[in-house]
Structure 1
Amino acid sequence: MKEIVKINLDNEMDLILAHKRSMKIAEMCGMPSSLQTRFATAVSEVARCSIANGQNSELRLGINVVKNTNKEIVAILNDSVDLKKCNPEAFKYAAKLSGTIEYDAGEDYSVTQFSLKVPSPGLLSEAKIKSLADYFKYESPLSPYDEIRKKNIELIALSEKLGESENRYRQLANTIPILICIINERNHVLLTNESLQVIVKSSFTVFEKKELSLFIHPEDVDHILENWSRIKKNKTEYSGETRIKKGDSYRWFLISIIPNKTEDGNFTNWLVYFVDINDQKTVEETLKNNSELKLIQRELEHANSKLTFKNKELQQFAYIASHDLQEPLRKIRIMLSRAGEDLSEEQKNHFYFDKITSAAGRMSDLISDVLNYSRVDNNLQTFLPIDLNEILHETINDLSLIIEEKNAVINISPLPTVSGLNTQLRQLFFNLVNNALKFNSEEPVITIAADEESTEPIDAYKPEGNYHLITIADNGIGMDSNYSDRIFDMFQRLHQRDQYGGNGIGLALCKKIIENHNGVLNFTSELGKGTIFYIYLPKY
């Protein structure tokens, strides 16, 4: 089959798209109105069943060329559920309408196929079939929902490409035998590769004398910092030689510091890399007073020229890699801006476009954080004062749609300011509040408070030391105490996927975030009566 259009079946709007596009393909292939209606209605009937009962539902519409003189319109609906078993009456009615329907199902799949012969197959040339696909590719959106959905699909595709690009960059940085780090104008170390981490063996968060002296020869540190101050002021580059401690001895390295430029020409950070040249230095010292090895010295000079060329290539690589990683982010922001131009203010308000734009902006920030810190342990990240009230406000804003949909009540008391990482703490509160909304069969009531003096019923969980205590309590479905030792395990699910969504990673991630912040996470729960999570974060 030559595919013309594909539709993911998630809700009633997708059902409308399935019906209209089935009608349109039949119309463009020269079908009479009665056959158009029967074909589109049959497809819609099974699509409705898929939306109501299915999982991972997908509808593909296209043209099947049986022979040059025999072509047919084909609709194929794939699902992970046996749809016919769920609603046999729908299939019976669809078969009565379409006349030609084929069905196949297994343990975790089902395939429904409709076909309708084209009355004038000679008119459907290869060029005509391609024009059909182009029509749906570039057709105007049927509704603001359709436009937003298209933009979201494009955003997801760009995000996936961005992730692939970041993975390739990370793998390359970790496999080349060069020590690499990235620093900003405030001397903060944003990223280090694995080779440098092995050398440092301790925290390396600031490009300053105290931390550099841990692995660079004390006689070389001041010279490096003097040149760093100079090039930071003049926006230039620096290259020199230094000695780095490996084991019980020092080896000579070539150090280079080059600025990374953004698209508008500004400097945001510097790439610092060290290349081991100890063997070359040893030979160089040997050759100084040895006239018999002049020929070897010339060969070494040639090798050094090649090394200089390779260093230039590395500089080019750093610029290209940085540009390639930032380009998808720029396109995402442009698409959001253009999408806003196509909608009226009423449409923006009706479809929460401001919230979509805000969420996309935070997604861009999150991707930037991942790029800058993907290879940095928490020991190498800088903890900052974080107002948990702001974090919670952003979380409630992100979840506003489901809060309105479930008519949830959120009771919030003032929360403290803690030392931590903004992105991780935002993820912590988002997961816990989202779980309280999701795992609830009634109208959710969620209470979030800070209680430093509470003794009941959490004394057994309270760690020693000076901690803030934040509680998140809900009236949800709760959980059996038999699962208390497994709830924070990766991919641990206590319910069937068709009952409650999720992939079993959320609470494991929450516990990891708390551990990263030197805190403690625990809970009490009773089946059918709700859950209380206790979050202990150190005071600073």
Structure 2
Amino acid sequence: MVKEIIQINLDNEMDLILAHKRCMKIAEMCGMASSFQTRFSTAVSEVARCAIAKGTNSLLVLGLNIKKATQKEIIAVITDSVDLKNCSPEAFIYASKISGNIQYNYANNQSETKISQPISAPGLLSEAKIKSIIDYFKFEPPLSPYDEIRKKNIELIVLSEKLTESENKYKQLANTIPILICVLNERNNVLLVNESLENYLDLPFLSFDRKTLINFIHPEDIDNLLEGWNKAKQNRSDFLGETRIKSGSNYIWHLTSIIPNKAEDGSFNSWLVYFVDINAQKMIVETLKDNTELKLIQRELESANSKLRFKNKELEQFAYIASHDLQEPLRKIMIMLSRAGEHLSEDQKKNYYFDRITLAAGRLSNLITDVLNYSRIDNKTQQFEEVDLDDILVEVLGDLSLVIEEKNAIVNVNPLPKVLGLGTQLRQLFYNLINNALKFTTIQPTVTVNYGDIPKDEKLLGSPENYHIISVADNGIGMDSKYSERIFDMFQRLHERDQYGGNGIGLALCRRIIENHNGLINFSSNPGEGTTFWIYIPKK
């Protein structure tokens, strides 16, 4: 076990003198004979002279090596960043002749020379004696004015190193904590900025004024911040506020504190400015505020929905009663027209406009029926069930068989899926679409019902795999895409009544049916090129 007594930096000839004298003194205090004191000190001095002349960062450490109670020795260790033995082999040869106990090692750009001298009476060198030797050199009076100056310089260097270490620790702490910090003087000059704040800045932060702050502070917050800063200077007081600081393309809320930076005597001429991220807390507060407003809106919506459901129920009842009450006198009118016409000739019927009256009454009857059907579409009182669309198409084509036969139409129906829905409404849907395809044409009608095709450039709320996609295509007159926003509205007609029949409710009824099934319907068409209606029915 080695107990260090003293260290000596080997820089110049004065250090060589100090090294020699202190080697002699330690040897003397350990009870060595004069000849051994001289031999040990001279060997150390030879290597030390080589280190001073050719070495770099040379250091001599003198100590006592206690191998065991009966075996103790003085040891001198000289370290250097230069291969001393290679630089001056003569010095090491001479030192080895003087002292036979010398070891040398050079590795990793570091040389180490150990010179030792056994103590002849190790028993006399007790723990108390060793402590007194260490204390002697700790409080040893200067050997010369140079030694005194050197001691003071060493003390100053130690203090400087401690101060630098302390400053580095505080600087590291200021740079690593997640708080943006700067120091200002009374003339608005920025004296110091920590790394956390620098990371927010695109430009140097030199002055605490509007021109500089606009680079990273939200424009709406600058006036409040500068007003607080001016009051803090005038009143020598603190300022606390909230500021938004730019981070990329966003602004992050920070709690801003401006605090006088007081010295030990109570005076101050600078201020500490802290910006602490409170964006998460602000978002929570805003979210709670929004939730409160959302609840109020939700209650208002629930109230409005309740009133709307009541009005819809009233409207549905009105539509049913009105259509029933209108159909009854209309049927009587048609019956009386039929009976009155039995005794009239064809010329008399034309003179009394019997054909026009009968046609108008028929249109009115169809209109009342369509309005009633439209008002009855509601799935809230009906349960969805599995519907085989192949069976639905068989029924629809049966109903339209006379029209198909009359127009010599070609109807192609590919296998269709089973879907979840309401059979009566889906039957009405396909009836209207195929009937339109047969109606709006000037040539032999061709209608194709297909399953699984996906239209180009289609934008859905979800993946196409979530829908049954069915198309109804015809070779009819087609229509312009500019009508895509109104074609499914009630009572919308794109042609004169005398060209093509209908009352403009059919496609509105189709859209209401498909929306009732949580699906979508749209079309693709060009004038003279036919029309394809696309039906999307959710699989779940």
TM-score, normalised by the number of residues in structure 1? 0.50
Mark the structure with the bigger radius of gyration: 2
Which one has more relative contact order, counting CA pairs under 8 Å at least 6 apart? Answer: 1
TM-score, normalised by the number of residues in structure 2? 0.50
